[in-house]
Amino acid sequence: MSFDFEALLEDPVYVAFALTAVLTVHGHAALTIDVLESTIEVEEAVAGGVVMASTKPAVTLRLSDLTAASLAREDMVKASLVPSTESPQLLGGVRNRVMATAPSSTSPELTLIVVEDP
């Protein structure tokens, strides 16, 4: 008998704190997915080559949810993320576009760094 340690450790967090969002990736059907809302610190180059630290809005999701929908980490950049009707407060209630992903490929979770999509 084997145990799914990822599910044992992460499922309670997602059950208690997750919000639902609709993730739309070009060429795929829209996917309703559980996410954890957060912020992430990033470094950005500004005028004169100066690098400044700032925070960006982000959501974290389980990679297993993506693979179950035949999606991969590489598909996420430029994907659209919209709060679902069950979680209208997610990311201020506005449409967002994924600008980058983090962390490395060894994590069972994926963080999507988003920016408001005008």
- Cβ atoms 20, 35 nearer than 8 A: yes
The whole domain housing 56 covers: 5-116
Output the DSSP codes for 90-112: GGGGS-EEEEEEES-TTSSEEEE
Q: In CATH, what number is assigned to the domain containing residue 15?
A: 2.40.10
- Cβ atoms 40, 21 nearer than 8 A: no
Percentage of the chain exceeding pLDDT 90: 67
Span 65-108, pLDDT tens digits: 999 999 999 999 999 999 999 999 999 999 999 999 987 667 88
pTM given for the model: 0.86
- What is the reported pLDDT for 103? 78
- Cβ atoms 99, 114 nearer than 8 A: yes
Hey, what are 97's tokens?
A: 């576009």
Instruction: Tally the domains of the chain.
Output: 1
What are the helix (H) ranges across 18-80? 63-68
Look at residue 28 and tell me whether its pLDDT is greater than 80.
yes
